[in-house]
Chains A and B, each alone.
Chain A
Amino acid sequence: MIALRNIQKTFRVPKREAGFGRAARSFFRREYTEIRALDGVSFTVPDGQTVGYIGPNGAGKSSTVKIMSGILTPDGGECEIDGLCPWRDRKKHVANIGVVFGQRSQLWWDVPVADSFALLRDIYGVEEARFQKTLRELTELLELDEILKTPARMLSLGQRMRCEIAASLLHEPKTLFLDEPTIGLDASSKIAVREFLKTLRREKNTTIILTTHDMADIEALAERILLIGKGKILLDGSFEELRKRHGGKKLLTAVVDGGTVPVREGLVLLEQKPGLWRFSVDPALLPVSDAIEALAALAQLRDLTVEDESLEALVLSLYREFRV
Chain B
Amino acid sequence: MKLYFRYFAIHLKSLTQYRASFVLLTIGQFLTSFSAFLGIFFLMERFQTVRGFTFSEVLLFFAVTLLSFSLAECFARGFDTFSSMLGNGEFDRILLRPKGTVFQVIASKVELSRMGRLLQAVLTFGVAVGTGEGDWTADKIVLLALMTLCGAVFFAALFVLGAAVCFFTTEGLEVLNIFTDGGREFGRYPLSVYGKEMLRFYTFVVPMALFQYYPMLYVLGRSDNPLLFFSPLLSLLFLLPVALLWRLGVRHYRSTGS
Contact = CB atoms under 8 A, between A and B. Distances in A.
Interface of A: 11-12, 63, 66, 69-73, 75, 87, 90-92, 94-95, 97, 99, 101, 104, 106, 108-111, 115-116, 118-119, 122-125, 151
Contacts, number: 69
Nearest to B12: A111
B10 A111 contact: yes
Interface stretch (B90-98, B133-141, B189-197, B235-243): B90-98
B14 interface: yes
B226 interface: no
Contact of B13 (A110, A123, A124): A110
B10 A123 contact: no
A92 B98 contact: yes
Interface of B: 2-3, 6-7, 10, 13-14, 17-18, 88-89, 92-93, 95-100, 251, 254-258
A126 to B, nearest CB: 11
A99 B92 CA distance: 11
Contacts of A95: 98
Contacts of A99: 96
A104 B89 contact: yes
Contacts of B93: 104, 106
Nearest to A11: B256
B3 A72 contact: no
A71 B257 contact: yes
Contacts of B18: 110
Contacts of A91: 98-100
A71 B13 contact: no
Contacts of B95: 70-71, 90, 94
B6 A151 contact: no
A69 B96 contact: yes
Given A11-B257, A101-B89, A115 B98 contact: no
